[in-house]
Amino acid sequence: MKHLHASCESGLVRVPLIAVIKHTGTNRHNHIPAGAECVSPEPALSLSKGRKSWVDCRDSPSPEGTTQFFSDLLEPSTRIGNFLFLLTMCLIVLLAAPACSKQKNASAETTVEAPSANSASTPAPATSDSAAPPSFDSSRAMQYVKEIVAFGPRPNGSENHRRVEKYILSHLKGLDVEQDDFEVTPSEGRFPIHNIIAKFPGSKDGIIVMASHYDTNWPLRNIPYIGANDGASSSALLLEIANQLRGKKLEGYSLWLLWDDGEESMRLPWYDPESLYGVRHLAQKWQDDGTLKKVKAFILEDMIGDADLNIDRIIECTPWLEDLVLDAATRTGYQSHFFARQISAEDDYRPFEDRGVPSVDIIDFEYGYNNVFWHTTEDTVDKLSPKSLAIVGTVTLETVRLLNQR
Ligand SMILES: [Zn+2]
């Protein structure tokens, strides 16, 4: 993927309250220098104010207790001045009590809406609309990552690339698979591009597309760069999701899994006209044949295997869909891995987002301190964790379930 810049941007209102609470409630993201300043402390402050109001109100005496207390004081020997003073005090307390109780209700509502930071490490309790968490075999997905990188570097036009294509297709036997093949002519020559789409029909009119690129960078073809996280992890994730979907009747939108090709730039530094070939071609093709208007959401997976998993929120993506992903993460108990940081990033989602398709980029763009492993020979399997694949796989499938309920 191509990165523009990590930034603290003005649209902080788009950072949901629960992300703010999680961020301020733990220290696990302290190593992220950009994210540390990216979150406004305001919502967390207003919440703590609300809690304080609640405690203050609860500590106030009840109206009944107050009346009894003052009547005990009013012995026959009490002077008239004291009586008037106490009567005034009594009225103040009686008037203040309902107002205080109103404040308590308001602050209690705030507390209910904001999930506790403690819930980050435990699955969300089942609610009336939540089914069992989707299943995902992370050890099998991890095995796929190892098998993909075992082919070696897989730049466009290479024998290794052809082997990975065959490998992906071999896992999709018996499914409805479309191959979208074409050629491109960047300055480096002529290259075949092969998008692979596995289609799972649903009962509802509309399509959800889930995508991952599988190529590695042409300019890095002569070094042992295998893209374990960048390209292999997300492609393996989709293969495992295909396993989960196989043979099931989908009670919702159709699901199309897309392994897109020619994503990485043919030149470094990144060069827009010679990158994102597969998705640019497909978005245009689907626009021309009318498919695009049926696409309800485009969910991109990229660099999702990092053992230290911190999925970034992408400024250019669709806010409501990102909120839905966060909702899915919260429901499955994984929200501490999502959206502590908000960044700007270009990626495969772009041609779809530009055409009005709601899009989300599920990406962790801090791969090693300061992203030091990205596009280097250090992008290897030992940096990854099956747990991260499980988190992203589960949250993605839960997002699909929530999309189907909309
Ligand atoms: Zn890349």
Which tens digits make up the pLDDT trace of 323-371?
Answer: 999 999 999 999 999 999 999 999 999 999 999 999 999 999 999 999 9
DSSP 251-286: EEEEEEEEEE-S-S-SSSS--GGGS-HHHHHHHHHH
pLDDT average, residue stretch 90-113: 35
CA–CA dist 211, 281 (Å, integer): 14
Q: What is the DSSP letter of 133?
A: P
CA diameter of the chain: 107
SS3 312: strand
Q: How far is the CA of 46 from the centre of ligand 1 (A)?
A: 40
Give 135's pLDDT tier (boundaries 50, 70, 90): confident
Q: How far is the CA of 217 from the centre of ligand 1 (A)?
A: 7
- How many other CB atoms sit within 10 Å of the CB of residue 120? 21
Rounded to 10°, the helix 234-245/386-405 angle is 50
Q: How far is the CA of 196 from the centre of ligand 1 (A)?
A: 19
Q: How far is the CA of 215 from the centre of ligand 1 (A)?
A: 9
Long-range contacts of 84-93 (CB under 8 A, 24+ apart): 90/66, 93/61, 93/63, 93/66
Q: How far is the CA of 264 from the centre of ligand 1 (A)?
A: 6
SS3 405: helix
Q: How far is the CA of 24 from the centre of ligand 1 (A)?
A: 31
* Model confidence pLDDT, tens digit, residues 136-148: 999 999 999 999 9
Q: How far is the CA of 27 from the centre of ligand 1 (A)?
A: 29
* Model confidence pLDDT, tens digit, residues 14-28: 333 223 222 322 222
* Model confidence pLDDT, tens digit, residues 263-301: 999 999 999 999 999 999 999 999 999 999 999 999 999
Q: Tokens representing 100?
A: 């205080």
* Model confidence pLDDT, tens digit, residues 48-58: 222 222 222 22
Q: How far is the CA of 216 from the centre of ligand 1 (A)?
A: 7
SS3 200: strand
Task: Report which of 128, 292, 89 is spatially closest to residue 206, judged by C-alpha positions.
Answer: 292
Q: How far is the CA of 154 from the centre of ligand 1 (A)?
A: 12
Q: How far is the CA of 349 from the centre of ligand 1 (A)?
A: 14
pTM of the model: 0.72
pLDDT average, residue stretch 243-247: 95
Q: How far is the CA of 68 from the centre of ligand 1 (A)?
A: 74
- How many other CB atoms sit within 10 Å of the CB of residue 183? 10
Q: What is the pLDDT, as a whole number, of residue 1?
A: 62
Q: Which residue has the tokens 């893209």?
A: 227
pLDDT average, residue stretch 68-97: 43
Q: How far is the CA of 237 from the centre of ligand 1 (A)?
A: 16
